[in-house]
Amino acid sequence: MKRVSAIILLLLLPAIEVSAINPFKPYKPLREIDYALNWSLGYDSASIAYKPDSFTGRSLLPMGLLATSILYNDNYLDKRIVKIGGISQPALKSADYLQFSPLAIMYGMKAAGLQGRSDWPRMLTADMGSFAIMNLIARPTKHILKRERPDGRAFNSYPSGHTATAFMTAHMLQKEYGETVSPWIGVGGYGIAATTGIFRVIANRHWCSDVLGGAAIGIFSTELAYELTDILFGEQGLKKAIVAPDIDDMPRWKFGLYSDYSMGSDVFTGAGYGNPNAKPACSIGIDASWMPWYIGPTVRAGLTQMKWTGENVVYLEHMGSVADVYTFGAGVDIDIPVIERITVNGQAIAGYSPCANSYSFFADREKNQTVEWSIPAGMHCYGNLGMTVRTSTFSSVSMHAGLDFYDKVWRSFVVGARFNYTF
């Protein structure tokens, strides 16, 4: 056990060191920054250093995720493709393990002696509360809504339980170590959680909106559990104050989970490309930006779920590939302050979809008539413009509209949102 703890500690030393000598941005205890007082932890400056934002402010990001997932309601978009297979086994198995990884990292650091926000009793109380709240929300919702899964194998798709668990454990890691030791620990936790959700889409188990709903429930459950734990324990068991950036300084980092909804598309047909009955539906992915000024470089990776718009129902062949388009890109991110906590935001990204795929659907299962649909590899560019609201010290929510252009395949007008971890 000592050897394992030592290895974990050694692996984490680079992240800890970045916090201590970060060349990009100064960090300082929140007791040195003028923040509003907190009711649940009292009125003195030491209390403020442990929790600078109100519970309402910290709940705005998960509420935004939840609202977006409800507005998308994307399961109906694909209802005329009856998916009787299409399970991606590697993604399916990976998500089973990834959902608990942030929790294992947090306990590993704690066992190795790395001090976080709370002592063991306080942390375990908050963790058990998070699990209880998450299950009390997610499980009944699955059975009440009875949304059919994309693969048609069950009626419990919304919300994604794997994603809820992953974001719940990632937010625990963020509360204990991302806010107190190094924000890069939070980046790792949220990255694992976002990957878990995307893998569930790739595996044909969930719609994009299921993932957004699961992320909302996971983050909110942890926030509520920590709020109740703060009320129960007061300042007992608090060990390490939050270390945070002065949000008025530059530069800063942004790591986001984005999702776009296609409002209208022109599909280009010809020479074996595309199909007038196949269009983009929803996109989901992750992006990262470094902002040395009001403009900075950004990278993103994600996928687009497709929909069938033909008059007749079609069937995906047994164990056939699910029609998802993967994209990787880089470009610029613009963030211009307007008023306090609100900025005008925009992105311009040049990307590439590297996989050329052909899909075969059965138009008539008895007669075995097929519909062929080909998607070539090619340039995939994207741009948007919108507004960003800073919801807490470490988070912001962006709403935008834009254009998604996939060369020789489609041109689509989209609206969407980004949910950012910022520092």
Given a contact cutoff of 8 angstroms between Cβ atoms, the answer to whether 400 and 345 are in contact is yes
CATH of range 252-422; options 3.30.70.141, 2.40.100.10, 3.30.460.10, 2.40.160.20: 2.40.160.20
H/E stretch holding 290: strand 278-291
Question: Given this model, what pLDDT does residue 296 score?
Answer: 95
pTM of the model: 0.86
The winner for highest mean pLDDT among 55-59, 86-90, 147-151 is 55-59
**20-to-24, 110, 173, 243, 342 alpha-carbon distances in Å:** 11, 19, 19, 10, 29
Long-range CB pairs of 405-408, under 8 A, 24+ apart, other chains included: 405/380, 405/381, 406/280, 406/325, 406/353, 406/378, 406/379, 406/380, 407/378, 407/379, 407/380, 407/381, 408/268, 408/270, 408/273, 408/274, 408/376, 408/378
Q: Where are the beta strands (DSSP E) in 60-153?
A: 81-83
Strands ordered across the beta sheet of 81-83: 81-83, 314-316, 357-364, 369-375
Angle at 170 between CA 191 and CA 286, to 5 degrees: 25
Q: Which residues pair with 304 in a beta bridge?
A: 283, 325
Tens of pLDDT, residue by residue over 322-363, are 678 899 999 999 999 998 889 999 999 999 999 877 776 666
pLDDT band at 243 (very low <50, low <70, confident <90, very high): confident
Question: Given this model, what pLDDT does residue 110 score?
Answer: 97
Question: Given this model, what pLDDT does residue 14 score?
Answer: 39
Question: Given this model, what pLDDT does residue 51 score?
Answer: 75
Question: What percentage of residues in the chain have a pLDDT greater than 70?
Answer: 75
User: Would the pLDDT of 12 be above 80?
Assistant: no
- The 3 state secondary structure assigned to 294-345 is CEEEEEEEEEEEEEECCCCCEEECCCCCCCEEEEEEEEEEEEEEEECCEEEE
Residues near 80 by beta carbon (within 8 Å), at least 6 away in sequence: 308, 309, 310, 312, 313, 314
Tens of pLDDT, residue by residue over 364-415, are 656 566 777 778 899 999 999 999 999 988 999 999 999 999 998 889 999 9
User: Would the pLDDT of 2 be above 50?
Assistant: no
Question: Given this model, what pLDDT does residue 128 score?
Answer: 98
* DSSP 8-state secondary structure symbol assigned to residue 77: G
Average pLDDT of 212-233? 96
Question: Given this model, what pLDDT does residue 269 score?
Answer: 56
Question: Given this model, what pLDDT does residue 83 score?
Answer: 56
Q: Which of 402, 396, 305 is nearest to 347 (CA)?
A: 402
Other C-beta atoms lying within 10 Å of the C-beta of residue 365:
13
User: Would the pLDDT of 73 be above 60?
Assistant: yes
Sequence ranges of the chain with CATH classification 2.40.160.20: 252-422
> How far does Cα 369 stand from its chain's mean position?
39
pLDDT band at 4 (very low <50, low <70, confident <90, very high): very low
Rounded mean pLDDT of the chain? 82
Average pLDDT of 203-231? 94
What does the alpha-carbon distance between residue 105 and residue 193 come to, in Å, rounded to a whole number? Answer: 13
pLDDT band at 72 (very low <50, low <70, confident <90, very high): confident
What does the alpha-carbon distance between residue 251 and residue 294 come to, in Å, rounded to a whole number? Answer: 9
What does the alpha-carbon distance between residue 307 and residue 316 come to, in Å, rounded to a whole number? Answer: 12
Q: Any idea which of 9-13, 49-53, 199-203 has the lowest mean pLDDT?
A: 9-13
Given a contact cutoff of 8 angstroms between Cβ atoms, the answer to whether 220 and 383 are in contact is no
pLDDT band at 267 (very low <50, low <70, confident <90, very high): confident
**DSSP calls for 235-285:** TTTB----EEE-TTSS-EEEEEEEEEEEEEEEE--BTTB--TTEEEEEEEE
**DSSP calls for 23-76:** SS--EEEGGGS----BTTTBSSHHHHHH--S-HHHHHHHHHHHHHHHHHH-GGG
| Pairing outcome for strands 378-392 and 81-83 | unpaired
The winner for highest mean pLDDT among 17-26, 255-264, 379-388 is 379-388
User: Would the pLDDT of 22 be above 50?
Assistant: no
